[in-house]
Chains A and B, each alone.
Chain A
Amino acid sequence: MAAEATLSAATAADAGAGARRLKHIAGKVGIYAALVAWAFVSLFPVYWTITTSMKVAKDVQLGHLIPWVDFQPNWLGWRSLGLSPDTIGQVSTVRDEFLGRFLNSVYTAFGASFLAVLIGSLAAYGLSRFQYKFLWMKNQDLSFFFLSQLILPPVVLALPFLVLYRELALLDSIIGLVLLYTLTVLPIVIWIMKDQFDTIPIELDEAAQVDGLGPWGTFFRIILPMALPGMVAAFILSLILCWNEYFFAALLTGSSAKTLPVMVASQTGSQGINWWSMAALSTAAIAPLVVVGVLLERYIIRGLTAGSVKG
């Protein structure tokens, strides 16, 4: 009897453990199912765009989805951009236009990111290390002054800049866009860099001062090399924001300084169900950032979480 009791108790415990294991496995399956589902949501539009750039009219109409299985990839879309293997060596006005827009985007995004990281880092270092007093404003207020620019919606600045740039002959110029984009990313850069400088111990500054370095020597020779990861993070984040900016570019550029988003948007306006070339154009416009995102993800996350999460 006693033996029987222990036996049944053992099976009960066994069953309990089994149920818990089952529950554990079900939980795991649920987690992975959710992960796969959201990965599908995240990637399908990108997959759809890339594959559509290789379709012909028939494949679009029939809703074919998987290359080589239900449709044969075709270079039609890329040929219309002058970027397919057989047209890449030939002269193409469309490709020249695309490359022109692409380079404009590169110049404005890199120019603005560089300028913003430069003056933003200087300001962030000053705010992190020195005590300022300007009129009634102390460091806290100055930081808030810079951060508060983030609230300013582009639509408020659009028209004043349209008028001012016309008067300054900066309309439809890359420099004009660079200055404006610098303004839009500056608050974010200052935020990230201030967070970065705050983590570098001030004793290093003091040691450098003892060695006879002035504030600028300390900054460039000692602190800047240590703050490099934060600068890369700020730079990448600025790059993404500037590369994708559309509102100002649409209002302030005409022909010569047009950027890639403006080109993409102007093509969508003229409906001609030219899906394959639109898809090729969209793919080419997003490809650089997808590559940047995958390779430099670490820095993007670092930039996004700066200042907002303290461990």
Chain B
Amino acid sequence: MALTESPSYGAISRRRKDGGRALIAAASVLFLAVGLLQALNSAGILPLGLKDWRPTLYAYLLWAVALGVGMVMARGEAGLKALFILPAALFTVAMAIFPTLFGLSIAFTDWNLASLTGQKFNGFDNLVQLVRDPFYWNAMRNMVIYVLFVLVEYAVAFGLALLLNAEIRARKFWRVVFLIPLMLSPVAVSWMVGKSMLEYRFGPVARFARWLGFNNPSFFTDPWVARLWIEAMDAWVSIPFVMILLLAGLQAMPKEVIEAAKVDGASPWQRFWQVIFPLMLPVSITAIVLRIIFKLKLADIIITVTSGGPGGATDSVSSFIYREYRDRSNVGYGTMLAMFYLVLIVIFITLLLKFLRRHMQRMT
């Protein structure tokens, strides 16, 4: 049996290298040219009769393919390796980075879809209006409250994880049952719980409240009660997620440590606070940070159940901006609100990670 020599990609001919580079350059020129022609077309300077920007999209796709082929030609094996990450990178740039920058350009205009005049740059007017907008800051304050509730969700989830980690029969059955709310769409939950179970006349919760002695139970008229029910629905859907992370952490914990604590005569209470809780800290903080990231996107339940009411008491930033788009078509201002929110949460998450990184599980 002869040992086959691994093929060497080291030697790439000069011609192949130049060919690859030329291909990338040609595709780039083509892409830019199509984009430029389209811009002239839509500005009305050079009427080409193009109805939409599809040609530019196709030019981008062509450019992406040419970039891949060109890299393999010019750089051999290194190019082949770069090809793995290229699709995801180009996709993310085109779908996340570019639209975000594009959004930034809309954020500084007075664009309203209902007005006939189209968009006009208006400098920092939107920002000034934002600072003075009481409803926006109200939504922001609600977000702080919702985010703080993550700690309550965490406490409940930890309790459930401990239950599932105890010596119980049919552990898998209980785990599946506890996981079910996670599968349900927030919109369906909005109807199932928010609109029917919490209905003030016939809903089972209202009935139960009346049985307990509340005369006129209503769940979405008092600001705090409404906020709590929105939070309860969101918690109901997402507690399983936190629970599963914590359960995995509990199961990965070395058994000897707990046994040793038992032998030392520590009570269950002491065992939890002095052994289990500190050992679970990295998993806990990872779970909480992830949960906060998802919490900051909270919108669906609020949009479908309360539309932010009563008087904006349940509004999240996302649901508020959603209504700014939907009901007032105020896209320039709404986009500024969204961009400002993005900046705030990027700062918030960055600080959070900076302070907590030491205590967290390795994430990247």
Contacts and interface: CB of A to CB of B under 8 A. Distances in A.
Interface of A: 31-32, 34-35, 38-39, 41-43, 45-46, 48-49, 52, 60-61, 63, 65, 119-120, 122-123, 125-127, 130, 132, 140, 142-147, 149-164, 167-169, 179-180, 182-183, 186, 190, 209-212, 214-216, 219, 240, 243-244, 246-247, 250-251, 260-261, 264-265, 267-268, 275, 278-279, 282, 285-286, 289-290, 292-294, 297, 300-301, 304-305, 307-311
A150 B172 CA distance: 30
B361 A310 contact: yes
Contacts of A146: 88, 92
Contact of B183 (A48, A61, A289): A289
Contact of B341 (A142, A147, A155, A214): A155
A278 B185 CA distance: 15
Rank and list the top 7 A-B pairs by shortest CB-CB distance, nearest first.
A126-B84, A244-B185, A123-B88, A160-B99, A160-B103, A293-B183, A311-B252
Contact of A246 (B103, B186, B349): B186
Contacts of B361: 307-310
Contacts of A247: 299-300, 303, 318, 322
Contact of A151 (B180, B182, B293): B293
Given A149-B96, A160-B103, A179-B95, A294 B176 contact: yes
Contacts of B83: 122, 216
Given A156-B338, A216-B83, 4 more contacts: A168-B53, A210-B6, A215-B77, A265-B187
B188 A142 contact: no
Interface string B337-352: 0110110011001000
Contacts of A151: 293, 296, 345-346, 349
A164 B102 contact: yes
Nearest to A244: B185
B271 to A, nearest CB: 13
B149 interface: no
| Interface of chain A: mostly helix, strand, loop or mixed | helix
Contact of A285 (B6, B185, B331): B185
B196 A126 contact: no
Given A122-B87, A130-B81, A167-B53, A301 B187 contact: no
B88 A120 contact: yes
B273 interface: no
B248 interface: yes
A308 B283 contact: yes
Interface in B67-116: 77, 80-85, 87-89, 91-92, 95-96, 99-100, 102-103, 106
Contacts of B52: 167-169
B317 A264 contact: no
Interface string B117-131: 000000000000000
Contacts of B293: 150-151
Nearest to A311: B252
A308 B96 CA distance: 25
A263 B241 CA distance: 26
A294 B180 CA distance: 8
Contacts of A162: 325, 331
Contacts of B163: 31, 34-35, 38
Contacts, number: 294
A61 B185 contact: no
Interface of B: 4, 6-7, 9, 51-54, 57, 77, 80-85, 87-89, 91-92, 95-96, 99-100, 102-103, 106, 159-160, 163, 166, 168, 172, 174-193, 195-197, 201-202, 204, 207, 236, 241, 244-245, 248-249, 252, 283, 286-287, 290, 293, 296-297, 299-300, 303-304, 317-318, 321-322, 325-326, 331, 334-335, 338-339, 341-342, 345-346, 349, 361-364
Contact of B204 (A31, A48, A155): A48
Contacts of B181: 42, 45
B217 to A, nearest CB: 13
A122 B362 contact: no
Contacts of A168: 52-54, 57
A122 B85 contact: yes
A144 B349 CA distance: 13
Contacts of A132: 81-82, 85
Contacts of A190: 88
B196 A153 contact: no
B325 A278 contact: no
Given A120-B88, A132-B85, A214-B77, A42 B207 contact: no
Contacts of B184: 46, 244, 286, 289-290
A270 B91 CA distance: 39
Contacts of A186: 88, 91-92
Contacts of B249: 309
18 contacts: A31-B163, A35-B168, A45-B181, A45-B189, A63-B207, A123-B87, A125-B84, A155-B318, A167-B52, A168-B57, A244-B188, A268-B190, A278-B195, A297-B172, A304-B245, A307-B361, A308-B361, A309-B249
A256 B14 CA distance: 53
Nearest to B290: A308
A101 B229 CA distance: 29
